[in-house]
């Protein structure tokens, strides 16, 4: 691969203004496919199905086969359109997008073209520091996914140099909604960050709606990022026309979206600064090298010969249907975040930390299970996140919000000290049961029998007469040494505050 | 004409290119003919019997077995269709 | 059963055969064997079949067993059926007349095939057709032409020449066809048989290898109107696998045909005749037969009304924009990846293999229409080409609406000429296209049309058909009117028209 020249990011932003655009494909998790009654591999239950086992005649373009639209996919698409703040078309229709490719059973994709089901919306996106952007949505349309190609021989998995390819039509016909933005201006140096935040916002929305598994690593959510840059206009001059854009495909994580946008800005800036021109093309993101490489240039081959799909009829949702789907929409993620932040009384930075860690749901559920918001946040953001990072897993997979709430209740009741509670949490994560069960099994409860404490204190004071003298002299802080010894003797299972009280009491006698 | 052959994925001999080029005029003549009456005020009819909202309920139905999927395959291996090297990128 | 009796079985109408099967006078095995024998005797000359079932007798035996066991069977149970090769079948190859699908076995049955099987019909084989139904003569079949039983040097019409010739040659009492611009009705016209194109959506297209999706319609082919009606009753009705399938509850078409045969339906019937159809374009014998039929209708109480259909003359042009466009897309699936012919290109990419396979696998006419359709849909042309043609559909529909405000049915000659000689027009596609001038507007508007034999042309002694057209969803009306005229004509002729066809095979 030829190594691209890159301009320093800050310099690129000084000289050029980036303009973004995104096409996000969302695989719906309906039971069946968009146009056939075959089970949908994008539904959790069918994940990992063996090749060519989820195929109906139309999915592989068998002669004589015909498509029939999945009603649930239409409802999901309308719901998504509404959640994106779009208008829902009173009538929309499908078209054929004609091109030959081995993963496309009919050699045309049934998609929506000039009459999408949803159009003209906006999505609120929040950056890490809480800054908000409105992303203008051009349209959201229904279409079908293509099958899956595996390239064999040559460099593993790469199309270049492969000797042959294998085709699996399980994914062919999976219902997709493609969300297309309008050009996005004003992101400036935060363009890469905004790109990731936009994809995250779409993911939050579809998860909130329950219409997609939304796992980027599985391709349930896929982002094509359009990037162009243009020279900054001098003061008082009109803005330059939009630059030539590239479309980077195949960006399968939010971090990659961010990196790919950053890379394209730097690459394009280097070309323009050297007097070159940008080629309008698709580019491919390479996760391993962190670079993009040129794909197909835009050309005559993009003559898709769209025409209305004659095998299908217009989709004309009734006003009542749209109203009922609108009424059933969950709270928009941005609104929900504002509501939670207010009710929890968190500082900006604390709240944003939870959001950025992707632990909003967990904290909310923990609070709902009875924990104080600050305590819930503390558990998830510190101890649980630490273990999750160490083990490379999702924090949410380690422990349930109910267990975290129960643990905090034991602390609140004085049954556990913070330190003991951390040990209990360890046990819960290790699968030893509920917090109470771990307390019982490990014998971790605080020793609240003053008699046992006093015995230990008297022993410690006797062993450290100098300390006793200091305390009696009024040097109360010297008590720490005795408290430490007592806590050690009690193997941590004592309330340090109570020990302190008792130490001062005994010393005074 | 060569471009049409590429779009339609049909290899065309020189003789075919020549013959077909001449016949494109048929299309042009037909267009001229329909343009006489296809004025902007006339709506297009894409379906002779107008219907809308024809849907299928989201219930899993019959699927093909892998054997059925592959039974006519010119070439297959590992339960998948086999094709020779692909040059172009995905769309 | 003696040779002579089994020979007779092929001459029976489907309705008569069904009655004898139901009465236990003959078995389905006997009827099926008679037709297989007939195929063996004459199909070498006619070439109506691309494939003859090797298990038709087993299917027939099963029907006989079920009947003997007292099972309630459908009206046509045990009657043999020929199936146009455009319809996919699980037990026989389905090629659509193309080399690119040679040997293709569908893993599923077309809905009309499944319904025919469920009704106890016995599939005899798959009939020849113009490749992918593109043609009006069956000469564009990759497997050689079918010959017209009336004159083996002449075309049987197309694209469904095989189905029409099979019933005309008494190789099958019934056949399934498909009609995109006249492919059921024009072959009926040139072979002296009956062919019905139902209302668009009345019969499922699921499993019919698509030519032009917005025009294609499957329908029955037979020797009598009643037989077509009986088969239509079996194959029609809503199919959830075809989104364009109508949910209407349909009346019994057989009942309509029986009612029509009494003749009463002609009294006060208003029959529209299109003013704009040029007299000059029609062969004299065709025009004469048409006028004679009108006179007969009038003599029995029908009223002939001149109507105007000013946009019909744009039909052919619109059709030849819509059809190639849709066909170019529908035929894209034949790419050598999942099924069909693959021609390897040493060192070639998959693109090369696809292009080469399609070059070798498709015939000239198919390639021609794909290229024309690709052009018509290509960048910038969509609105002017395909879009404008769709507007003509609206105008033709309006013409029909206006006409049907005044008349009950419209009558036209089914085609301008009798069967032409094989090879005569094969290099003149434009001339070939004009064959469909009266049938095409019917497909564009989605209304039903039927062709029934109206006599022989004086100048060449070849069959001529008359087409009746009814408003959308009024298919039953066509069976009523068609059966009424048929009864009068057969009465006039002193027997079915096909009795005058030359005997084939020499041994009958
Ligand atoms: Mg796209
Ligand atoms: Zn898309």
The predicted-structure confidence for C355-403, as pLDDT tens digits, reads as follows 999 999 999 999 999 999 999 998 778 888 899 999 999 999 999 999 9
Nearest to A444 by CA among A491, A400, A384, A403: A491
The DSSP bridge pattern shows strands B55-56 and A69-70 to be: parallel
Q: Please state which of the ranges A277-281, C1-5, C243-247, C289-293 shows the lowest mean pLDDT.
A: C1-5
A70 and B88: CB-CB below 8 Å? no
Domain membership of residue C325 (yes or no) is: no
How much distance in Å is there from the Cα of C122 to the middle of ligand 1? 49
C2 is catalytic: no
Residue C407 lies in a domain: yes
User: What phi and psi, each to the nearest 5 degrees, are found at residue B51?
Assistant: -135, 165
Q: Which domain holds residue C245?
A: 11-310+398-504
φ/ψ of C166, rounded to 5, equals -60, -45
Q: Could you give the CA distance from residue C389 to residue C319 in angstroms, rounded to a whole number?
A: 7
> Would strands C270-274 and C303-307 be described as parallel, antiparallel, or unpaired?
parallel
How many Cβ contacts (< 8 angstroms) between chains A and C?
98
With CB atoms and an 8 Å threshold, state whether B89 touches A70: no
Of A195-204, A349-358, C220-229, which gets the smallest average pLDDT? A349-358
Give the span between the Cα atoms of C360 and C358, in whole angstroms.
5
Q: Look at A441 and C132; give whichever has higher pLDDT.
A: C132
Q: What is the pLDDT of residues C417-467, one digit of tens each?
A: 999 999 988 777 666 677 788 999 999 999 999 999 999 999 999 999 999
Contact A70 B58 (CB under 8 A): yes
Look at residue C155 and tell me if it is in a domain.
yes
A25 alpha carbon – ligand 2 mean position (Å)? 6
Please report, for the domain that includes residue C142, its CATH number. Answer: 3.90.1300.10
Nearest-angstrom CA–CA distance, C346 and C224: 54
Asked if C87 and C111 count as a contact pair (C-beta separation under 8 A), the reply is: no
- What is the nearest CA distance from C459 to chain A, expressed in angstroms? 42
Average pLDDT on A188-209 reads 95
Closest-approach residue (CA) in chain A for C376: A305
Decide if C316 is inside a domain: no
Q: Which of C321, A47, A345 is nearest to B32 (CA)?
A: C321
- Residue A19's region, left for phi above 0, alpha for psi from -120 to 50, else beta, is beta
Looking at all shown ligands, the one closest to residue A250's CA atom is: 1
Q: What is the pLDDT of residue C201?
A: 98
Find out whether C311 and C353 touch, Cβ atoms under 8 Å: no
Listed in sequence order, the residues at least 6 apart from C308 whose beta carbon sits closer than 8 Å to its beta carbon are: C274, C275, C276, C399, C402, C403
pLDDT at A297: 66
Which residues in chain A are closer than 8 Å to B54, comparing Cβ atoms? Answer: 68-69, 312-313
Q: Minimal Cα distance from B80: which residue of C?
A: C338
Residues in C touching A69 (Cβ below 8 Å):
243
**Catalytic-residue membership of C84:** yes
**Which residue of chain A comes nearest to C331, CA vs CA?**
A106
Do the Cβ atoms of C391 and B45 come within 8 Å?
yes
Does the pLDDT at position A167 exceed 90?
yes
Length of chain A: 509
A residues 41-70 lying closer than 8 A (beta carbon) to B: 50-57, 60, 68-70
Cβ neighbors of A469 (< 8 A, separation 6 or more) are none
Cα–Cα distance, C196 to C184 (Å, whole number)? 7
pLDDT(C331) > 70: yes
Query: What percent of chain A shows pLDDT beyond 70?
Result: 97
Q: How far is the CA of A427 from the centre of ligand 1 (A)?
A: 49
Integer CA distances (angstroms), A203 to A80, A360, A437, C122, C466, in order = 11, 14, 37, 56, 63
- Predicted local distance difference test score (pLDDT) of residue A30: 98
pLDDT single digits (tens) A224-247 = 999 999 999 888 888 888 999 999
pLDDT (tens digit per residue) in A321-347: 999 999 999 998 888 888 999 999 999
Flag the least confident range among A53-57, A491-495, B68-72, C310-314.
A491-495
B6 reaches A (C-beta below 8 A): yes
Q: How far apart are CA A41 and CA C391, in angstroms?
A: 41
What is the rounded CA–CA span in Å between residue A489 and residue A463? 13
Least trusted range by pLDDT, from B23-27, C117-121, C204-208, C214-218: B23-27
CB contact, 8 Å: B5 with chain C? Answer: yes
Task: Return the pLDDT at A333.
Answer: 85
Nearest-CA distance C311 → chain B (Å): 8
Place of tokens 């896929």: A222
- Mean pLDDT (chain A) is 91
Give the mean model confidence (pLDDT) for residues A28-46: 98
Search chain C and give the residue with CA nearest B46. C390
pLDDT at C429: 67
- Is the pLDDT assigned to residue A250 strictly greater than 80? no
The total of other beta-carbon atoms located within 10 Å of residue B25's CB is: 10
Contacts 24+ apart (CB under 8 A), A231-235: A231/A15, A231/A16, A231/A17, A231/A272, A232/A14, A232/A15, A232/A16, A232/A17
- Nearest chain A CA: its distance from B37 CA (Å): 21
Domain annotation covers residue C214: yes
Please provide residue A503's backbone torsions phi and psi, each rounded to the nearest 5 degrees.
-60, -50
CA A383 – CA A419 distance, rounded (Å)? 11
pLDDT score recorded for residue B91: 45
Determine which one of C106, C159, C414, C454 is catalytic.
C159
Between A258-272, A356-370, C131-145, C155-169, the lowest mean confidence (pLDDT) is in A356-370
Strand order in the sheet with B80-84: A148-152, A164-168, B80-84, B76-77
Mean pLDDT of C72-90: 97
pLDDT in tens, C265-277: 999 999 999 998 7
Q: How high is the mean pLDDT of chain C?
A: 95
| CB proximity B59 to C under 8 Å | no
Instruction: Dig out the tokens for C21 from the structure.
Output: 């099967």
Of these residues, C84, C126, C197, C425, which one is catalytic? C84
Q: Are A68 and B54 in contact (CB under 8 A)?
A: yes
More confident position, C372 or A508: C372
Which uninterrupted H or E stretch holds A247? Answer: strand A246-251
A131-165 pLDDT tens trace? 899 999 999 999 999 999 999 887 656 666 778 99
Output the CA A244–ligand 2 centroid distance in Å. Answer: 21
**Residues of B with Cβ-Cβ distance to A103 under 8 angstroms:** 90
What average pLDDT does the segment C113-123 reach?
98
pLDDT at A300: 54
CA of A322 relative to ligand 1 center, distance in Å: 26
Residue A457, both tokens: 């204190």
ipTM > 0.85? yes
Residue C507 has pLDDT above 50, yes or no: no
Q: Tell me what pLDDT residue C3 has.
A: 41
In a domain, C259, yes or no: yes
Residues in Cβ contact with C94 at an 8 Å cutoff, skipping those fewer than 6 apart: A63, A64, C85, C86, C87, C88, C101, C104, C105, C106, C126, C209
C98 has catalytic annotation: no
First-to-last C-alpha distance (Å) of chain A = 82
Our count of domains for chain C comes to 1
Tell me the range of A408-417, A493-502, B54-63 where mean pLDDT is highest: B54-63
pLDDT surpasses 80 at C71:
yes
Do B89 and A69 make contact, defined as CB atoms within 8 angstroms? no
Counting Cα atoms < 13 Å in the Cβ hemisphere of A189 gives: 8
- Give domain status of residue C357, yes or no: no
CA distances from A228 to A16, A221, C232 (A): 10, 23, 60
The neighbouring-strand residues paired with A231 are A16
Q: How far is C123 from chain A (nearest CA, A)?
A: 19
Q: Which residues of C touch A (CB under 8 A)?
A: 87-88, 94, 96, 101, 104, 106-108, 110, 205-210, 212-214, 240-244, 325-326, 328-329, 332-333, 335, 337-339, 350-351, 354, 374, 377-379, 382, 386
Rounded Cα gap, residues A426 and A241, in angstroms: 59
């Amino acid at each position: 691969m030829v190594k691209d020249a890159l301009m320093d990011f800050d310099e690129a932003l000084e000289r050029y203004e980036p303009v973004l655009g995104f096409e996000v494909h969302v695989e719906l998790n309906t039971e069946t496919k968009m146009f056939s009654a075959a089970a949908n591999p994008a539904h959790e239950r069918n994940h990992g199905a063996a090749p060519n086992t989820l195929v109906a005649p139309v999915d592989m373009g068998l002669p004589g086969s015909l498509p029939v639209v999945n009603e649930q996919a239409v409802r999901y698409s309308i719901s998504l359109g509404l959640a994106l703040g779009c208008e829902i078309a009173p009538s929309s229709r499908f078209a054929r997008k004609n091109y030959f490719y081995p993963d496309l059973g009919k050699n045309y994709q049934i998609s929506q073209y000039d009459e999408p089901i949803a159009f003209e919306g906006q999505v609120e996106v929040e950056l890490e520091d809480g800054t908000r952007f409105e992303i203008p949505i051009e349209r959201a349309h229904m279409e079908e996914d293509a099958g899956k190609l595996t390239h064999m021989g040559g460099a593993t998995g790469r199309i270049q140099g492969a000797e042959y390819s294998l085709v699996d039509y399980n994914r062919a016909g999976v219902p997709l909604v493609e969300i297309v933005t309008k050009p996005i201006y004003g992101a400036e140096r935060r363009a890469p960050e905004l790109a990731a935040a936009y994809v995250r916002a779409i993911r939050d929305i579809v998860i909130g709606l329950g219409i997609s598994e939304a796992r980027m690593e599985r391709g349930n959510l896929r982002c094509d990022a359009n990037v162009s840059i243009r020279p900054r206009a001098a003061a008082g001059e009109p803005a330059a026309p939009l630059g030539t854009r590239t479309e980077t495909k195949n960006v399968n994580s939010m971090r990659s979206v961010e990196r790919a946008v950053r890379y394209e800005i730097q690459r394009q800036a280097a070309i323009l600064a050297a007097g070159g021109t940008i080629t309008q093309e698709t580019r491919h993101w390479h996760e391993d090298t962190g670079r993009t490489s040129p794909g197909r240039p835009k050309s005559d081959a993009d003559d898709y010969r769209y025409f209305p799909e004659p095998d299908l009829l217009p989709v004309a949702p009734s006003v009542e249907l749209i109203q009922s789907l609108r009424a059933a929409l969950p709270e928009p993620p941005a609104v929900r975040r504002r509501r939670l932040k207010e009710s929890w009384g968190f500082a900006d930075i604390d709240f944003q930390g939870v959001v950025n860690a992707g632990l909003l749901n967990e904290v909310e559920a923990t609070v709902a299970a009875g924990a104080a918001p600050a305590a819930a946040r503390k558990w998830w953001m510190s101890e649980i996140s630490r273990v999750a990072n160490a083990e490379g897993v999702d924090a949410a997979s380690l422990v349930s919000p109910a267990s975290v709430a129960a643990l905090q209740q034991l602390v609140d009741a004085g049954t556990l000290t913070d330190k003991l509670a951390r040990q209990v949490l360890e046990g819960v994560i290790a699968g030893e049961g509920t917090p109470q069960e771990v307390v019982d099994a490990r014998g971790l409860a605080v020793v609240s029998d003053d008699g046992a404490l006093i015995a230990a204190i008297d022993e410690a004071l006797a062993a450290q007469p100098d300390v006793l003298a200091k305390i009696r002299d009024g040097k109360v802080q010297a008590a720490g040494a005795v408290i430490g010894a007592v806590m050690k003797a009690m193997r941590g299972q004592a309330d340090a505050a109570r020990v302190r009280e008792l130490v001062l009491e005994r010393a005074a006698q | 004409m060569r471009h049409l052959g590429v779009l339609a994925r049909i290899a065309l001999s020189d003789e075919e290119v020549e013959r077909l080029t001449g016949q494109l005029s048929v299309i042009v003549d037909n267009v001229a003919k329909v343009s006489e009456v296809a004025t902007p005020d006339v709506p297009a009819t894409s379906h002779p019997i107008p219907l809308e909202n024809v849907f299928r309920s989201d219930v899993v139905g019959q699927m093909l077995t892998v054997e059925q999927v592959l039974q006519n395959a010119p070439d297959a291996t590992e339960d998948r269709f086999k094709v020779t090297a692909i040059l172009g990128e995905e769309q | 059963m003696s040779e002579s009796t089994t020979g007779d079985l092929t001459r029976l109408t489907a309705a008569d055969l069904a009655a004898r099967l139901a009465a236990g006078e003959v078995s389905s095995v006997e009827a099926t064997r008679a037709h297989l024998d007939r195929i063996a005797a004459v199909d070498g000359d006619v070439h109506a079949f691309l494939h003859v079932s090797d298990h038709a007798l087993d299917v027939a035996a099963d029907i006989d067993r079920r009947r003997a066991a007292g099972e309630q069977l459908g009206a046509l149970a045990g009657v043999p059926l020929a199936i146009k090769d455009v319809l996919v079948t699980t037990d026989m190859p389905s090629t659509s007349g193309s080399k690119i699908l040679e040997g293709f076995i569908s893993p599923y049955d077309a809905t009309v095939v499944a319904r025919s099987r469920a009704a106890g019909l016995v599939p005899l084989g798959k009939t020849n057709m113009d490749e992918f139904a593109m043609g009006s003569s069956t000469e564009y079949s990759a497997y050689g032409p079918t010959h017209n039983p009336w004159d083996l040097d002449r075309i049987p019409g197309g694209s469904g020449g095989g189905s029409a010739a099979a019933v005309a040659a008494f190789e099958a009492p019934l056949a399934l066809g498909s009609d995109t611009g006249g492919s059921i009705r024009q072959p009926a016209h040139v072979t002296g048989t009956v062919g019905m194109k139902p209302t668009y959506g009345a019969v499922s297209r699921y499993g019919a290898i698509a030519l032009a999706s917005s025009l294609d319609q499957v329908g029955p082919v037979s020797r009598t109107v009643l037989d077509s009606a009986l088969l239509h009753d079996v194959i029609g009705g809503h199919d959830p696998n075809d989104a364009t399938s109508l949910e209407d509850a349909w009346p019994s078409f057989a009942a309509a045909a029986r009612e029509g045969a009494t003749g009463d339906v002609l009294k006060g019937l208003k029959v529209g005749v299109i003013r704009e159809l040029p007299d000059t374009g029609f062969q004299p014998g065709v025009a004469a037969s048409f006028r004679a039929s009108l006179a007969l209708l009038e003599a029995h109480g029908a009223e002939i009304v001149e109507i105007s259909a000013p946009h019909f003359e744009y039909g052919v042009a619109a059709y030849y924009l819509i059809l190639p466009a849709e066909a170019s897309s529908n035929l894209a699936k034949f790419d050598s990846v999942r099924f069909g012919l693959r021609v390897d290109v040493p060192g070639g990419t998959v693109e090369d293999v696809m292009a080469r396979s399609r070059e070798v696998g498709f015939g000239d006419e198919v390639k021609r229409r794909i290229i024309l359709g690709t052009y018509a849909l290509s960048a910038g042309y969509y609105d002017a080409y395909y879009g404008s043609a769709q507007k003509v559909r609206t105008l033709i529909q309006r013409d029909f609406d206006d006409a049907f405000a005044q008349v009950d049915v419209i009558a036209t000659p089914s085609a301008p000429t009798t069967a032409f000689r094989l090879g005569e027009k094969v290099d003149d596609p434009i001339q070939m296209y004009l064959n469909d001038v009266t049938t095409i507007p019917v497909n564009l508007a989605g209304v039903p049309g039927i062709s029934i034999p109206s006599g022989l042309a004086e100048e060449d002694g070849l069959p001529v058909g008359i087409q009746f057209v009814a408003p959308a969803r009024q298919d039953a009306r066509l069976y009523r009117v068609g059966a009424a005229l048929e009864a009068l004509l057969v009465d006039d002729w002193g027997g079915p028209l096909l009795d005058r066809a030359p005997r084939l095979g020499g041994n009958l």
